[in-house]
Amino acid sequence: MSATTPTASIPTIDFQDFPSQSQKLIQASVEWGCFRLINHSIPAALMAEMKATVRALLDLPMEIKQRNRDVIAGSGYVAPSNANPLYEGLGLYYMGSPEAVHEFCSQLEASPSQRETIVKYSEAVYNLAMDIVLGPGVQIHTDSGFLTILQDDDCVGGLEVVDEKSGEFVSVDPFPGSILVNFGDVAKVWSNGRFCNIRHRVQCKEAAVRISIAFFVLGPKEAAIEAPPELVDMEQPRLFVPFMFEDYRKLRLSTGLRAGEALAMLRRST
């Protein structure tokens, strides 16, 4: 992999300018697998409140944070480790479920004001996710979950994505008030190879705390993931065998293939 380059930048999508930017969104999904979203529906004040709340929760004693248990592997509290000593995270498995949101708050003994912020933010980001995946230009079923909505740090950078044209890492600089949307492995399968599953990393470039809040739209629990018939034809035959999301998640964990390489094991033979 080549060194980081400043010569390219990820696309920016104005969410208020739909449907006229639908084609631009599709192009960004195909060429980059990610884009910046501006003029979205999450209030700036709520984004700031949620970031302050997350910072406070991460400052809780370890014994409280460990109550944030997994629903599926990796969905709960993640402590710093030898492999990833600078990373720590909390997990809320399903932001669209009021019960799950309140359970998360109870696990961490969130104050009434923190609980209110988490509830409001969960509703706002969930609604935004549904707008993105059901909106003009990216007409997918919500159960085909395949994207990440990221509120990254307003000041501290470090996120880098791969420009697939050059093979080089591109710095994704902070953009206060915006939301970063990126597509994953499930998006590549659902789109029958059309969408890019963006490769990315976070580099520690300064001695500062970097807070980011990610909303993951995952795959269905009880239905196989596969490209819909309208995305399969003679020119673009079906590329991947159908699979269950949880099986694929376990495959990534067991093989250590976490940069999209595991999809090669699910390709149809020609």
pLDDT digits (tens, 9 = 90+) for 5-17: 444 689 999 999 8
The residue among 228, 224, 230 whose CA lies nearest residue 247 is: 224
One-character DSSP codes across 25-40: HHHHHHHTSEEEEES-
pLDDT per residue as tens digits for the range 130-160? 888 764 333 332 223 478 999 999 999 888 8
Residue 81 token pair: 């480790």
Which residues touch 149 (CB under 8 Å, ≥6 apart)? 125, 128, 129, 132, 179, 180, 181, 214, 215, 217
- Which of residues 49 and 162 earns the better pLDDT score? 49
Residue 82 token pair: 């030898």
- Which of residues 135 and 224 earns the better pLDDT score? 224
pLDDT exceeds cutoff 80 at 4:
no
Name the β-bridge partners of 240. Answer: 267
> Contact at 8 Å (CB) between 187 and 35?
no
Asked if residue 19 has a cis previous peptide bond (ω within 30° of 0), the answer is yes
Could you tell me the pLDDT band of residue 63, with boundaries at 50, 70 and 90?
Answer: very high
d(CA 78, CA 87) in angstroms, rounded, equals 8
Beta strands (DSSP E) in the chain are 2-5, 12-14, 34-38, 147-151, 159-163, 168-171, 179-183, 200-202, 213-216
pTM, 2 dp: 0.85
User: What share of the chain in percent tops pLDDT 90?
Assistant: 50
In this predicted structure, what is the pLDDT of residue 36?
A: 94
d(CA 27, CA 127) in angstroms, rounded, equals 23
Q: Calculate the CA dihedral of residues 140, 145, 149, 150 and round it to 10 degrees.
A: -150
Could you tell me the pLDDT band of residue 74, with boundaries at 50, 70 and 90?
Answer: confident
